Chain A
Amino acid sequence: MSIMKRYSIFLILIVFSLFLGGCKYDFILPEEVPVIDTTKPVSFATQIAPIFVAEKCTSCHNTQAPKLTADVAYAQIVPAFINAGTPANSKIYSVPVSGTHYAKYSATEAALILAWITDGAKNN
C-alpha cells in the first residue's frame, strides 16, 4: 500500500507537470500585407516571375499550361489569364487565391499580383 501511495504522488506530479509545465498563450499573428506603392509600377521580371518559383508553381507548371518558367511566363499569362476590366477575376490571381487549386499565394504575393494586373499587366 505504501508503495502504491508513493506511486500515486509520483503520478500526480507527472500528470500535472505535463499539464502545467510550460503552459503558454502564444498567438500566430495574421500576415501583414504591405501597402503596395502605386506610384511605382510593379515589375514583372523582378517581382512577379520570382513568385512562381518561390511558391513552387514551376515544379508542375513547367510542362503543364500555363507554363510559368521565367522565359515563357509572360507570353503564357497575358492575355489568356488576365481580365483587364476586373483584375480580381484574372485567373492568374483568382485561381490560387480563392479557387480549389491546392497551392496558394501568400497575402503579400496576392497583393503584388493584383497590383501588377491593375497596373496593366506590363512586361516590364
Chain B
Amino acid sequence: MKKNIIFLVLLSFISVVSFAQEDATGVKEKDYPVSATFESGALIDAQTVVIPDKKTLEMLIQHKFGTIENGRSDLWGIYGSANIRLGLNYVVAKNMQIGAGITKKGMMGEKSILDLNAKWTLLSQTRKNSIPVSVALYGNVAADGVAASVYDGVKIRMSSDHSTVSYLPADRLSYFSQLIVARKFNDWLSLQAGVSFTHYNMVKSIYDHDKVGVHFNGRVKVSPQGSLIFTYDHPLKIKEISEQWEWTNHPKPALCLGYEVSTGTHAFQIYMGSTTSLLPQDNIMWNQNEIDKTGLTIGFTITRLWGF
C-alpha cells in the first residue's frame, strides 16, 4: 500500500528534477509554451494540464443526470436524480491553481461532499519541442457530509491498533492524486494520459482503501470553436495493494464521449458517459455503471473565467 504512495512521490520528484535541469542549462533560443492544449482546466469530469493565467478565477458547474434507461418517462434521465458539483478555482501563481467544490452525492449515497484541490503544471510543452509534453500534478482531499447520526451504532476497526471504535471525523476523508502527461500534437489533436492514486480513510470491510487508476483523455477539434472530447478511466486490479482475498464489486471503467463549444472565457461541454460521479476518487473507487443503457448518463460541464 505504502509502496505506491512512495512511488507517486518519487515520480513527481523526477519531474521536478527534470524541470530544474531545464532551468539550469537555459534554452538559448526563446521557445514559448504552446497555447490551449485543451480549452479549459476541466475536460468532462477530468482534469487537464491547462491552468489559466495568473489571478484568474474559474467557476465550474458540473451536472450528471440520471441513467437513460427509463427513456422518455424521465426524458432519458434529465428529470431523474442528478449529481451536481459547483466549484471555484483560483490561479494563485503562474501554473498553480487551488480550488474548492461541493458535490451533491457520491456513489455511497452521501448527501454532499466538500473537496479542496490543487493543481500544478510542472512542465509546459513548447512550440519548438524543447519540452515535448506538458506535465501536471493534481491532488484533492474530500470530506463526505452525511449526518453523524448515520454512523450511530456502526463499529469501526481502527488500522492503527485494531481496536473497535465508533466513528471519527477523519473517517470522512478521501484523497485523490494524479500525474497527468499531455501533448498537443497539432491544431486539432490533443491527447493526455494519467496515473492516479485514490485512498479512502474508511471503507466497508469487504472493500479496499486504495486503488490505482489510469486515465486517457483527448480532444479532436472539428471547427474553430467545436471539439469532440473523450475521457476514459480504468481502475486497476493490483493484488499487491489489495487487502482482500477476492475482488468484490471491483469498480468498472468509465467512458465518456462529448462535444465541446468554447470561447475565450467559456467552455461548454455536453457528453454521455458511464458514470454518475463527479469526483475522481468516487469514480475510480465505486463506479458500477456499465457502458450500456442501464449505466449511461447525459451530463454537462460549464466553465467561466474571470481575470483580475
Contact B202 A26 (CB under 8 A): yes
Residue A65, interface by CB 8 Å:
no
Shortest Cβ distance from B38 into chain A, in angstroms? 21
Which residue of B94, B159, B175 contacts A25 across the interface (Cβ within 8 Å)?
Answer: B159
Residue B17, interface by CB 8 Å:
no
Interface size class of A (residues with CB under 8 A): 20 to 34
User: From B94, which residue of chain A is reached at the shortest CB distance?
Assistant: A4
User: From A106, which residue of chain B is reached at the shortest CB distance?
Assistant: B153
Contact A27 B141 (CB under 8 A): no
Contact A27 B120 (CB under 8 A): no
Which residue of A3, A4, A27 contacts B156 across the interface (Cβ within 8 Å)?
Answer: A27
Contact A24 B157 (CB under 8 A): no
Which residue of A11, A15, A22, A25 contacts B177 across the interface (Cβ within 8 Å)?
Answer: A15
Q: Which residues of chain A are near B140, meaning CB under 8 Å?
A: 18
Q: Which residues of chain A are near B141, meaning CB under 8 Å?
A: 18-19
Residue A35, interface by CB 8 Å:
no
Shortest Cβ distance from B116 into chain A, in angstroms? 7
Most buried by A among B12, B139, B158, B209: B139
Which residue of A11, A16, A24 contacts B170 across the interface (Cβ within 8 Å)?
Answer: A24
Contact A28 B120 (CB under 8 A): no
Contact B205 A18 (CB under 8 A): no
User: From B199, which residue of chain A is reached at the shortest CB distance?
Assistant: A23
- 11 residue pairs of the A-B complex, CB under 8 angstroms, read A11-B118, A12-B120, A14-B118, A15-B139, A18-B140, A18-B141, A19-B5, A19-B141, A20-B5, A23-B201, A24-B171
Residues of B within 8 A of A (CB): 1, 5, 9, 12, 16, 23, 92-94, 96, 98, 116, 118, 120, 137, 139-141, 154-160, 164, 168, 170-171, 173, 175, 177, 199, 201-206, 209, 243
Residues of A within 8 A of B (CB): 1, 3-4, 7-8, 11-12, 14-16, 18-20, 22-32
